[in-house]
Chain A
């Protein structure tokens, strides 16, 4: 054995070729933890990336902010053809039978491209609620049309004047009065995204006699429904919905437990919002890094200044964190686990993290980033909306504290 140097006065114990005693454990034979994207997820991601690069350039997002409809039907149709609108819906009703996680991957890419479509209200909120709490007949009636791109849904869950930090808990003022063959519904809802172009609204109401909450499928064109388009920070086509003695037949009430459906819908909304915000943050990071490499001041690229480069590093750090905590929440939900803690953890973190990413992006760009002709405001305004949608960071932190037993 060749010499190993042990010091000039060592006893010269030149090692012992035998390994340690005791039990050596067999290696894992089943699938180990792996939080990188699977082959299928990566393919989906790449498909979304290349499709959106071609079909949803930033000019489209900009144009759709001021468009009366707010999304291009041709793009919607193509997304249906790719199977995206049916991803988390049951195969029996024209879906792909996948989960929220796969949809989350698509939504993250859409957040990067700011692709203007009603995918979140239609699929992540509405159709998934019908799949979870709708009758067989309702699923048959609605889900295949959603998957095929023939039905746009909007969800009217929030009471007008009761934003409640973006998370509805136990107050429903919209009243559903029992009639011979259904309900008459009266109330005012706020922040129903794309309600102005939706074919159908999913409305959270309360049975007047019993005080029990229930979800109703309401035809947007039914007499007594008035939709008013709202101007928002993100120009994301939120709407106010007024219902005046709207007749809803019995077969349009979802049989599932209304509070459970609401809680799960809000969780999906929070996850989808986190994903879209993460995508936006990623693009903001890319735009800012590129700018820091090419913008020259004081005779050198501004990215050589640590005051700028460390902002970029911070953006990368926060974006990566946002991405994986979002995946974890989406994974937990898709696995059928109780995802309340995962979801609130994600939304609490992502809301704050992405705000910082956006502000750092603005700071690095200086005045040009304040110009609406530049991409930066498109992203930062969208993220600002996302911060408050489906629960603010402070609301979710309170939920986390409660779930941790405080």
Chain B
């Protein structure tokens, strides 16, 4: 066995390159100058906000940032995954000015890149990279949420077409979307994971209706979608017939780590610290409260852990000959979502009763933004697979425990 030799072969590296650091700064400067004074984040700026996100996406598409890590042939910039990570983090800190288009870059585009025909790739990826298309995701159904593979929406073959009947629910952005990334059953007789196909359904197709559901976070981004004899051609299918579950697995892996939630939580931590420093309680600075200091530090530490694990995934994805393990996305997501929850609770804890003043109310600290963060944080451990589903993934696929 060789003895330990002097320096050779380098070390792991937690630092940005000079170029990446410069990009991060360029991005922050751009956002400072670009975001309008009234901008407070996605869904909290009303209709004006939605309009703005479209404008914003087209602007950054022109700068080549929207899909920078994609290949050039599909409207990308061949940039490193790290630039995408830096971009993602800046977006999270700025309240996601891409609006719902984060989905396009995070998982819709990459999935189409992996499973699409040349025509599908060329059309959809180009549209996405220009920042002028909105999508929604037709996965959950009223009776099948966590048990997604049992979904019942049917796509029956009729000549060269498929006729879709069924219902989806919790479909974010359905009212505004141009396309739906839809899961439907194409084989009634196969075991549940084996008979599902993916369809790209234009939302204006006859027979598609959308009914908004008011969510706890307000806004109009939550919907039911009904499909009644919706007829699409064979070319609307993404990937192979009956093999949609493979696509779903890829989607969920992209989706589970696509958002830099940890940076949004960090924003909340920073705001809590600033609030505590300017507030007094029982005759002393709130920032001196030992219990609050403990909680702030706890959430901060969890932020750092979540960030490190996200960087680990990115390292594995960008290294030749390496790839994340089957449950690494779930494991990382568990850190992201639990930290989101804790950050939301920390904000409410620190702001006390005032923290319960909602957006739009005079006197609401930070215009109610931290209260809104808390509302949103409730969904963190539910969307894209509940915390328990993620734990099942870690236990069975990661640790090999029996089902």
Contacts and interface: CB of A to CB of B under 8 A. Distances in A.
Contacts of B18: 30
A233 B349 CA distance: 36
B399 A24 contact: no
Interface string B49-77: 00000000000011110111000111111
A303 interface: yes
Interface string A321-346: 11011011001101100000010111
A33 B15 contact: yes
B395 A313 contact: yes
A15 B122 CA distance: 7
A32 B80 contact: yes
B312 interface: yes
B4 A328 contact: no
Interface string B293-310: 110111011101110110
Contact of A324 (B7, B290, B296, B305): B305
Contact of B401 (A2, A293, A334, A401): A293
A19 B6 CA distance: 48
B4 A84 contact: yes
B119 A309 contact: no
B399 A349 contact: no
B206 interface: yes
A345 B293 CA distance: 13
A contact residues, range: 35 or more
Contacts, number: 299
Given A40-B8, A317-B331, A321-B305, A404 B296 contact: yes
Interface string B227-242: 0000111011000000
B contact residues, range: 35 or more
A406 interface: yes
A150 interface: no
B13 A33 contact: yes
B245 interface: no
Nearest to B11: A38
Contact of B273 (A24, A25, A316, A405): A405
Interface string A289-327: 100110000001101101001101110110011101101
B62 A20 contact: yes
B322 interface: yes
B204 interface: yes
Contacts of B308: 35, 321, 324-325, 327-328
B interface, by DSSP: helix, strand, loop or mixed?
helix
Contacts of B61: 20, 22
B204 A310 contact: no
B342 interface: no
A23 B64 contact: yes
A84 B3 CA distance: 8
A3 B233 CA distance: 10
B11 A41 contact: yes
Contact of B233 (A5, A39, A310, A406): A5
Nearest to B233: A5
Given A19-B75, A28-B82, A289-B401, A5 B12 contact: no
A262 B84 CA distance: 41
A87 interface: yes
30 contacts: A3-B233, A8-B205, A15-B126, A24-B78, A28-B19, A28-B20, A30-B18, A32-B318, A33-B15, A34-B12, A34-B315, A35-B13, A36-B322, A38-B11, A83-B3, A83-B5, A86-B4, A96-B4, A303-B401, A309-B401, A310-B395, A316-B399, A321-B308, A327-B14, A397-B297, A400-B301, A401-B297, A404-B296, A405-B273, A405-B277
Kindly list the 10 A-B residue pairs having the minimum CB-CB distance in the complex, ordered from nearest: A83-B4, A40-B9, A7-B202, A397-B297, A401-B293, A400-B297, A15-B123, A309-B395, A313-B394, A313-B391
Given A15-B127, A28-B83, 17 more contacts: A3-B119, A9-B204, A19-B73, A19-B74, A19-B76, A24-B68, A24-B78, A28-B80, A40-B9, A41-B11, A50-B1, A86-B4, A87-B4, A304-B402, A313-B394, A327-B308, A328-B304
Interface of B: 1-20, 23, 61-64, 66-68, 72-80, 82-83, 117-120, 122-124, 126-127, 129-130, 200, 202, 204-206, 231-233, 235-236, 273, 276-277, 287-288, 290, 293-294, 296-298, 300-302, 304-306, 308-309, 311-312, 314-316, 318-319, 322, 331, 334-335, 388, 390-392, 394-396, 398-403
